[in-house]
Amino acid sequence: MNHLLKKLTEGDQLMKDEMREVAQALFDEQISDSEIASVLTALRVRGESPDEIAAIVEVLREKAMTVQKTITGVMDNCGTGGDGSSSFNISTTSAFVLAGAGAKVAKHGNRSVSSKTGSADVLEELGISLDFTGEEVEKLLESNGIAFLFAPYVHPRLKRIMKVRKDLGVPTIFNLIGPLTNPVELETQFLGVYRRDMLMKMASVLNQLGRTRSIVVNGAGHMDEASLAGENHMVLLDKGDLIPFTLKPEDVGLSTYPNEAIRGGDAKENAEILLNVLNGQPGAYLDTVLLNAGIGLYSAGISSSIKDGVDRARESIESGRALEKLNYLIDYSKTRKQAMSS
């Protein structure tokens, strides 16, 4: 390890197998807190390569909660966070719309880190359990088309690293890799990043992780979601090809709104926003979800275009199917809690 730490601190890029060795040491607690801090700081200062990101993700997933690999055709839609927009829970709300439109969604998420309310906070407020087992995740994906995986429960090896991250107080590689560490074998993904300079890198990482098709987005105003405020920058991964493109809301028949129009609040407020959207209340919140779900459906290959995806997303809400997906998870969680307490 010493020679690899020396390479990192001297600004050298690690080969993928070297980064895997470093990652094994990180997660198996073979190195000290100060050495962990050195690794994270060195990567941040020099800039993380696709090989380094992919290597640390692969090792972390190997040590995560086991989910059966028999599940096929699964996607995730998740952002890195860190955009400072204080928006409502866009990807969480969109996940139910995606499921209502026929996607199979393993929604990976956490409590609030850089925003007011994380996906876990708002789902917990709605009554959804955060400790689904691997077997339950598989069951829910088959029966309901959507399940939630709570990152700290799924990745128990991260506790010590999270403490070091908090002590450092600066962004690290772990601010980027959260959406990549889903233990379910994903075929497709819609990934939001708060750094526009990372679009191609993250698309390359998704390719290394075996995604057949995905879209990475940095939204107008540098949001880690697609935004109605203007031009969204994206990269489509399609069978190994990386294709950059841009999209404005008017391109798919949606109105323009400033990012301030989609601000969220605490868990209770964001739960109300989520329910209002799934009940079809018109406005900036709904249109933002339609845009993001539409891109998600296109990234999964379910729709033929993003415009078609937006139309399918609208139908998912208007038919009540998106809300049914949410209510199924709430009812399932309530039943399992009652069974555990009896």
Q: Which residues line the annotated binding site for Mg(2+)?
A: 91, 224-225
Annotated binding site for 5-phospho-alpha-D-ribose 1-diphosphate: 79, 82-83, 87, 89-92, 107-115, 119
Alpha-helical (H) ranges within 10-49 are: 16-27, 33-46
Helix (H), strand (E) at residue 108: strand 104-109
Annotated binding site for anthranilate: 79, 110, 165
Hunting for tokens 């598989």 — which residue is that? 138
**Dihedral (CA of 225, 131, 136, 327) sign:** negative
d(CA 35, CA 5): 8
Annotated binding site: 79, 82-83, 87, 89-92, 107-115, 119, 165, 224-225
Q: 284: Cβ–Cβ under 8 A, 6 or more apart, which residues? A: 228, 257, 261, 262
Distances (CA, A) of 3 to 7, 22, 35, 172, 243: 6, 11, 12, 21, 37
DSSP 30: -
